[in-house]
A and B are shown apart, each in its own frame.
Chain A
């Protein structure tokens, strides 16, 4: 009886929404953003994916980084939405000319949410414990750190070899500063130094932050932020239209007209580091042949994904525009059905049948486009939609797949192309060498150039296909200012959020 006729329902609802927009389309947008911010305000932000728990040390997932890093927990350094590295708990830092010694000046007067003062010893303990605890997230990113010492307010990291990614890594999980020996239950509690404190977590529903009145920097401009977890975009649209949320993140750009109809919301499209990655298992079978992989890439009409999403951009290599080492690699795999057919004929791989394993929470448009594109060159694509744990087990852990689609959201994650053990199954010593050189480079520009070179090889090897680079689609209410729009699925810094 409970049939899943979501397609039909969506069509009917779209019709309803059209009627609705016809009813309200005539009103002029109300003037917004006038007057002073209301420092007693509560801002309600729709997010999509709720974290399983709040253990920032151990539990993977962008859902944790998104809300916890910057707002609750901080590192010595931080990053802006534009991916620039800026001071955090360190007011300043210096790097020695051989790039082997990093010296950070830890701010004074910083207190944890429980009232205890932050000391340089907390910094040393946090970094050292992370380095020594292999199952903490990003522990391996401190692998080149030989020693961590404190003297006065200065904390010094000594490296065994230069690491051009170290500062960046310290802006993420690898660099988070915790209270030494803290006894809180990290799964449900949080004790950081950020501008917000965790107030309540109603599991399966919402997380509420309150302003940290003892914050060392500029205090937050809202008294309270509520993260309302609404997985479905249609429900989020309804909530927005009914005035139940102030900001909608992770929105569907196809619904822009509807949410903007009465002038209460504006949709902003920000860049993101989301990479729609079509992985090829190239260990054996037809996909071990580079010509077959290249044929698949050239058979795919990448613009179709951008059109279907009404947002984002095409991407032809492993590095998105926000990350260092990006270059436009469109020339490597231009959409060309005839060329694709020729390659398949050359590889003696006509009449192929391949299976795509894809987590079932992604839009069905993705497999639809792939099936029809590949069908045009004589490849039959079978779609195996599975839940995410199954994908993790079959594809990620057991590498038992032919084609796989997953949106890789993490910024600066080129390392996976230099890791032959990774589920991408891509093994090219030249790329591994270039990546190692890039890490060891002292000059940032040089590091980026080496990455770009490696990325071009990955793309030329048709190690995978990148269907699109996702956008960060945020609908912002007219009373809200200071809401970031870039890469908010990865990090959502609310220090400047204000409501009028």
Chain B
């Protein structure tokens, strides 16, 4: 087990290193740079060159990479080339919106998808089960943007219960206002992600029904549903955990879209703004942290799997 964890950890570190190179190189392919943006459309080539020089953009690309990655290894993500503030501090500030948004979205997704997914599998072939399944298919196909707009029209514009956009300027010092601002965005991501998850839970449950041990339990006198719930659901739980790991990446992508739509000052919106501002040092830091987060979640999911699934433990 420990050997497995260490191997996995080494892979994680290697993954991050490769990611750092990929992030750095792909960003350098983007045309245009921050010096041109600072100088604008009434500037001379000399002005642009002077700004470029001052920002250190003329250094060779390998030197720039080593400079950056050296800083990262020392725990310093660098400073924004535009605002001059620390990337880590900006990330920490924006995380106050994105992290709660992600947790809320994931909670909403799990809360409705697991019970409904199991139910729709258990009621397979009946009208209600089919309706649930079709409903989930439809919801999963809905674009996040559209779902968000509809929720805004109903809950913010018509009913006036929740804000249409934005995050309170007072932040979490007014917890109720902050939470209210996140409900619609989290619902938007949660419903769409949850609908995908529900389809997955349904098929995992259906698979469990066909498993030998569930059939054996049923043959030994349990009803089919009791057999499924007692012996089948733990297996379903395992696969759900795996998918949840993947879903975290989906939620990050969802946050990028949703933060634009709802005008939330989170990591997703900052990332988009920084790319179009060519604040590459900042974008690098943001992408590396997000990639690291997804890789770590994957790592934890693997470990958890290992710990709770007896079949995998025996395999080593």
Question: Complex Cα distance A388/B30, Å?
Answer: 11
Could you say which residues of chain A place their CB within 8 Å of the CB of B46? 134
Question: When the two chains form the complex, which single residue of B40, B48, B84 contacts A188, counting CB atoms closer than 8 Å?
Answer: B84
A376-416 contacts to B, CB under 8 A, are: 386-394, 396-397, 406, 408, 410, 413, 416
Question: When the two chains form the complex, which single residue of A138, A226, A396 contacts B169, counting CB atoms closer than 8 Å?
Answer: A226
**Smallest CB gap from B84: residue in A:** A187
Contact A228 B40 (CB under 8 A): no
**Smallest CB gap from B141: residue in A:** A1
B183 at the interface (CB under 8 A from A): no
Question: When the two chains form the complex, which single residue of B84, B140, B145 contacts A53, counting CB atoms closer than 8 Å?
Answer: B84
Contact B37 A242 (CB under 8 A): no
Contact A239 B30 (CB under 8 A): no
B253 at the interface (CB under 8 A from A): yes
Could you say which residues of chain B place their CB within 8 Å of the CB of A1? 140, 143-144, 192, 196, 250
B90 at the interface (CB under 8 A from A): yes
Contact A241 B157 (CB under 8 A): yes
Q: By CB atoms of chain B within 10 A, which of A12, A135, A406 has the most?
A: A135
Which of the 9-residue segments A94-102, A204-212, A266-274, A481-489 touches chain B? A204-212
Which of the 9-residue segments A57-65, A76-84, A153-161 touches chain B? A57-65
Query: Shortest CB–CB separation between residue B47 and chain A, in angstroms?
Result: 5
Question: When the two chains form the complex, which single residue of B47, B149, B165 contacts A230, counting CB atoms closer than 8 Å?
Answer: B165
Question: When the two chains form the complex, which single residue of A235, A393, A406 contacts B165, counting CB atoms closer than 8 Å?
Answer: A235
Contact A228 B145 (CB under 8 A): no
Contact A4 B145 (CB under 8 A): yes
B94-110 contacts to A, CB under 8 A, are: 94
Could you say which residues of chain B place their CB within 8 Å of the CB of A205? 166-167, 169, 263, 265
Contact B156 A242 (CB under 8 A): yes
Query: Shortest CB–CB separation between residue A196 and chain B, in angstroms?
Result: 16
B129 at the interface (CB under 8 A from A): no
Contact A60 B42 (CB under 8 A): yes
B228 at the interface (CB under 8 A from A): no
A6 at the interface (CB under 8 A from B): yes
Question: Complex Cα distance A235/B279, Å?
Answer: 26
Question: When the two chains form the complex, which single residue of A8, A52, A244, A397 contacts B36, counting CB atoms closer than 8 Å?
Answer: A397
Could you say which residues of chain B place their CB within 8 Å of the CB of A433? none
Question: Complex Cα distance A392/B276, Å?
Answer: 12
Contact A60 B152 (CB under 8 A): no
Contact B149 A60 (CB under 8 A): no
Query: Shortest CB–CB separation between residue A447 and chain B, in angstroms?
Result: 20
Query: Shortest CB–CB separation between residue A399 and chain B, in angstroms?
Result: 11
Could you say which residues of chain A place their CB within 8 Å of the CB of B245? none
Contact A235 B32 (CB under 8 A): no
A85 at the interface (CB under 8 A from B): no
B82 at the interface (CB under 8 A from A): yes
Q: How many residues of B are in contact with the other chain, CB < 8 A?
A: 63
Known interface pairs A9-B149, A242-B163. Does A232 touch B84 (Cβ–Cβ under 8 Å)? no
B218 at the interface (CB under 8 A from A): no
B238 at the interface (CB under 8 A from A): no
Contact A59 B145 (CB under 8 A): no
Q: By CB atoms of chain B within 10 A, which of A1, A20, A410 has the most?
A: A1
Could you say which residues of chain A place their CB within 8 Å of the CB of B196? 1
Which of the 9-residue segments B116-124, B229-237, B254-262, B291-299 touches chain A? B254-262
Query: Shortest CB–CB separation between residue B195 and chain A, in angstroms?
Result: 10
Could you say which residues of chain B place their CB within 8 Å of the CB of A228? 166
Query: Shortest CB–CB separation between residue A427 and chain B, in angstroms?
Result: 17
Contact A206 B149 (CB under 8 A): no
A185 at the interface (CB under 8 A from B): yes
Could you say which residues of chain A place their CB within 8 Å of the CB of B250? 1
Could you say which residues of chain A place their CB within 8 Å of the CB of B140? 1
A13 at the interface (CB under 8 A from B): yes
Contact A393 B31 (CB under 8 A): yes
Could you say which residues of chain A place their CB within 8 Å of the CB of B51? 58, 135
**Smallest CB gap from A415: residue in B:** B42
Could you say which residues of chain B place their CB within 8 Å of the CB of A20? 153, 157-158
A203 at the interface (CB under 8 A from B): yes
**Smallest CB gap from A50: residue in B:** B273
Contact A389 B164 (CB under 8 A): no
Contact A5 B31 (CB under 8 A): no
Beyond A5-B143, A20-B153, A394-B31, 18 additional pairs, beta carbon < 8 A:
A2-B143, A3-B145, A9-B145, A16-B149, A59-B38, A60-B40, A203-B270, A204-B270, A205-B166, A206-B169, A208-B169, A232-B260, A239-B165, A239-B263, A242-B164, A389-B31, A392-B37, A406-B41
A-B CB contact pairs (8 Å), 20 listed: A1-B196, A2-B145, A3-B145, A4-B143, A5-B145, A5-B146, A52-B279, A202-B169, A232-B263, A238-B152, A238-B157, A239-B166, A242-B160, A244-B165, A388-B32, A388-B37, A389-B277, A390-B31, A394-B31, A416-B42
